[in-house]
Amino acid sequence: MQNPVEVADGVYLVGGQELTDMRDCCVYLVDGGSELALVDAGFGYSCRSILNNVKKLGLDTSLLKYVIATHGHIDHTGGLHYFQSLGAKVVCHASELDAISNGMAHLTAELYYGAKYQPVSVDLVLDGEMQDLKVGGLTLHCLFTPGHTPGGISPYVDLNGSRILFGQDIHGPFNASWGADMEKWQTSMKKLIDIKADILCEGHFSIYKPATKVRQYIEHYLDQYA
């Protein structure tokens, strides 16, 4: 397994198929100084490895304040219960509660992955088109980007002159049974282009930069599914 990867000063890749478990999405850490936040939680079988990667960075894991679920699929949410048990607050959009809190199997995609999802209570429910979340000295702007699922969000943070976007699962896939909507997805992708991110932290295919490559990556999938 590889060591954690520094995306930028204060943002790290701490989980994923090459770091922790083949079934994990990319799991990112945001270091706000006095508080930490995870963006997604992985499949659920490598939570200790994710935590160990945070420790390898020399960071205090007791500062983990939030674990943000970008959407309700089990490869992103399977570890929520573990991190919540350590004291982290689970965050998601209201439109994703049926998956994350109610554990509706068709929305968690657990049948697709052949595993059982463990529902969790959500500590902070986001609503509307945009909601900000303070993580220590940083602000994560949680942008509502439905399409892949009904309540997907794409947080971004402005850090040292760069805009870093956590655009999980831009590439899809899309399945009507879990609430995918291509028209909403296309609108969401245009939102992501409009924010003009310098760095894209994607959900499975790692990190893209500079801004021209971020835009090209999103436009590639818009063209592919047009």
Query: β-pairing, 27-31 with 36-39?
Result: antiparallel
CA–CA separation, 202 vs 208, rounded Å? 8
pLDDT of residue 169: 87
| Domain range for 80 | 5-224
CA–CA separation, 179 vs 215, rounded Å? 26
> Helices 182-194 and 211-224 meet at what angle, rounded to 10?
160
User: Model pTM greater than 0.85?
Assistant: yes
pLDDT in tens, 132-158: 999 999 999 999 999 999 999 999 999
Average pLDDT value over all residues in the chain: 96
Looking up residue 78, the CATH number of its domain turns out to be 3.60.15.10
Query: β-pairing, 124-126 with 138-144?
Result: unpaired
pLDDT in tens, 117-128: 999 999 999 999
Angle, CA of 78, 55 and 50, to the nearest 5°? 20
- DSSP output for 81-117: HHHHHTTPEEEEEGGGHHHHTT--HHHHTHHHHT---
Mean pLDDT calculated for residue range 206-214: 95
CA–CA separation, 173 vs 166, rounded Å? 17
Mean pLDDT calculated for residue range 189-205: 96
CA–CA separation, 226 vs 220, rounded Å? 10
What band does 113 get if pLDDT is binned at 50, 70 and 90?
Answer: confident
pLDDT of residue 112: 83
Number of structural domains found in the chain: 1
Given a cut of 70, whether residue 1 has pLDDT beyond it is no
